[in-house]
Structure 1
Amino acid sequence: MKFVWYEKNGIKQLGVLQKEESHILSLKDLLPERGFLDLLDFIKRYTPEDIAVIRGAMEKEKPQGTPLTKVRVLSPIERPIHDIICVGVNYESHLKESTLGLKDPKLDGPKEPVYFSKRAVRILGTEEPIEGFLSLDDALDYEVELAVLMGKEGRDIPKDKVKDHIFGYTVFNDVSSRTLQKSHIQWYKGKSLDTHSILGPYVLFAEDAAYPPDFTVETQVNGELRQKSSTRLFIHDVDKLISDFSRGITLEAGDIIATGTPSGVGMGFDPPKFLKSGDLMECSISGIGTLRNKVR
């Protein structure tokens, strides 16, 4: 089951993809009495009965609802409840290239997860152009990541209970300004320029995904494959990340956790392959979808 936040005739609404993924079923039509406002509202209020109704509608042989080609797909969460929780250097290969590229001694083999936050007043969706801010920093980079959406509030979550707190998974492009990232020591500024958070295009319901997560992640820039890896290669798996982060910190339903990117980012090449105006980024995760965004 894949959830989609979309715009049709100027009206934003929540839906799910029909099983052939050619049409969208509106939750306003499937569950009119429930009055779900958006995905965050759904995450907080949905019931097993709601899921059963949706699954029943999805299984119909004949395509129902609105053709996907007739709508504009938006970020599943446009305005997050908090800053995005990001995990740094969570693949061994990216740890090596980051240590060299950022020249940061803190990255020399950290034994515990590296966390940082990313400000996102508004999160972009697929097909939306990003502002490069190349006059501010011309070392613009891409990072494909698996994003975990929390479905249930919790603190001090045991590893064997983490799965119960996850609503779903989606694709995240953690666009980064490397010069700012290095010059400010902390990464917040270099990670947080406007339009540099991209999410979507769909959210895969956790019940329909393997656990632990088993996805292939990749990035192409102008058709050139730059990144390709598997979430099986995480240094710290999802159980570890969420259990560890939640020690003494409350995670809320709707929180977004970006789990880190593999090697192949622009700064990892010699010479670096940073993004330029007009470049097309395509960030994909198997079984979820592809984010396509140009640099303006």
Structure 2
Amino acid sequence: MKLISFTRAGKPGFGAVVDGGIVDLTGKIAPEVTDIRALLERDLMAETAAFLSGRKPGLGWADIQLLPVLPNPNKILCIGLNYLKHKQETGRPDVEHPTVFTRFADTQIAHGQPLVKPAISERFDYEGELAIIIGKPARNVPEAEALDHLAGYSIYNDGSVRDWQRHTIQFTPGKNFPGTGAFGPYLVTTDEIGDYRDLGIETRLNGEVMQKAALSDLLFPLETLVAYCSTFTPLSPGDVIVTGTPGGVGDKRNPPVYMFPGDVVEVEIDNLGVLRNPIVAEQAP
């Protein structure tokens, strides 16, 4: 399945992408299930697949406005320095454990919506990444069982305000400006993907390829990330782990390449689609 979150006539909802359009799932699987997180919390993915069998779309793309795939996760955990080329370009040493920081849900935007370059910085950078969505509660999960706790995969652009990222050794300020985290377009369920290591990821800025890698290049694979994160915090259905960006970030190019109003950035991952966002300037309050 491909699941999306959206607003329709000003009201939030969710649905499934099918041939010819969208099936509205808001309140259809159960009356209280009005978003993807609630669907996952109630473990109703099998019922959803059965409901969709043979069903025709009732909505077109013009009928909705997309939201971030998970507008309301309890947690967004981001992983830094998780591809060798990116670690090398930053000059960071080898580490024994994943580098983890957080992003706030209210910084997210959807596919097609503008990423917002902060007025305070001229160093707004792209970071194309694979996002994984937790489908079952996970606490102290062994690596061998980690993938069983995933509901699906999506695409993330972890837009980074580099000067603010480096005010201290903590990344958080540079990762949480409003409108800087693009998430979408879909949650693609794990049964649609197979081995995630076979997927490729590519980031393009104004059509030029800036990042290109394979998911098999992850220094800490998905199994390790889920196991590690579930050890220090309980992972709940709808939580998101953003798994790291490949080499080629704009900040480490010579000369550096940053995103400015009028630019368009795309992140593509095989079988997951394309996350496309224009860049706009922050508006004065």
Common fold: TM-score over 0.5: yes
CA distance in 2, matches of 1:249, 1:13: 29
* Alignment deviations for residues 240-288 of structure 1 (CA, whole Å, 9 cap, x no partner): 1111222242111111100000011101210011111211111121111
Instruction: Give the Cα separation in 1 of the matches to 2:46 and 2:222.
Output: 28
Cα shift readout 1:82-137 (whole Å, capped 9, x = no counterpart): 3x2011111111111122xxxxxxx211132111112332421011112211x412
In the TM superposition, what are the counterparts of 1:82-97 in structure 2 within 5 Å? 82=75, 84-97=76-89
1:116 is matched with 101
Indicate which of 224, 230, 246 corresponds to 1:262.
246
Q: Structure 1: where are the runs of 5+ without partners?
A: 100-106
Aligned to 1:8: 8
Residues 67, 273 of structure 1: alpha-carbon distance in 2 compared, 3 angstrom cutoff: same
Contact 2:29 2:47 in 1 (8 A): no
Separation in structure 2 between the aligned mates of residue 253 and residue 32 of structure 1, nearest angstrom: 17
Unmatched runs of 5 consecutive residues or more in structure 2:
281-285
Aligned to 1:78: 71
Look up the match of 2:208.
224
Contact 1:79 1:122 in 2 (8 A): no
1:25 aligns with 2:23: yes
Whichever residue aligns with residue 25 of structure 1, its letter is V
Per-residue deviation at 1:207? 2.2
2:129 maps to 1:131: no
Aligned residue identity for 1:86: C
Aligned to 1:153: 137
Number of aligned residue pairs: 280
Q: Which residue of 1 aligns with 2:236?
A: 252
Verify: 1:276 aligned to 2:260, yes or no.
yes
Cα-Cα RMSD = 1.9
Equivalence for 2:170: 186
Correspondence for 2:37 among 25, 28, 40: 40
Task: Report if the CA contact (8 A) 2:203-2:266 is conserved.
Answer: yes
Q: C-alpha displacement at 1:205, in angstroms?
A: 0.8
1:187 maps to amino acid = F
Please identify runs of 4+ aligned residues in structure 1 that moved more than 4 A: none
Distance 2:50 2:129 in 1: 31
Task: Summarize the Cα distance change of 1:66–1:184 in structure 2 as closer, same or farther, 3 Å threshold.
Answer: same
The normalised TM-score by structure 2 is 0.91
1:33 is displaced (CA, Å) by 4.4
**In the aligned structure 2, how far is the partner of 1:205 from the partner of 1:51?**
12
Q: Is the 8 A contact 2:39 2:45 kept in 1?
A: no
Identity %: 29
- Name the CA distance, whole Å, in 2 between partners of 1:185 and 1:47: 41
Tell me if the contact between 1:98 and 1:268 (Cα under 8 Å) persists in the aligned partners. yes
The one-letter amino acid paired with 1:78 is: P
Shift in CA distance, 248/223, structure 1 to aligned 2, threshold 3 Å: closer
Give the Cα–Cα distance (whole angstroms) in 2 for the partners of residues 65 and 201 of structure 1. 19
State the match for 1:103 in structure 2: none
Q: Assess, with a 3 A threshold, how the Cα gap between structure 1 residues 49 and 217 changes in structure 2: closer, same or farther.
A: closer
Distance 1:156 1:178 in 2: 33
**8 Å contact from structure 1 (residues 181, 191) kept in 2:** yes
Give yes or no for contact 1:126–1:291 (8 Å, CA) kept in 2: yes
Distance 1:131 1:64 in 2: 33
Q: Which residue of 2 aligns with 1:104?
A: none
Task: Give secondary structure in 2 for the equivalent of 1:136.
Answer: coil
Q: Distance in 1 between matches of 2:50 and 2:139?
A: 31
Change (3 A) 1:14 1:97: same
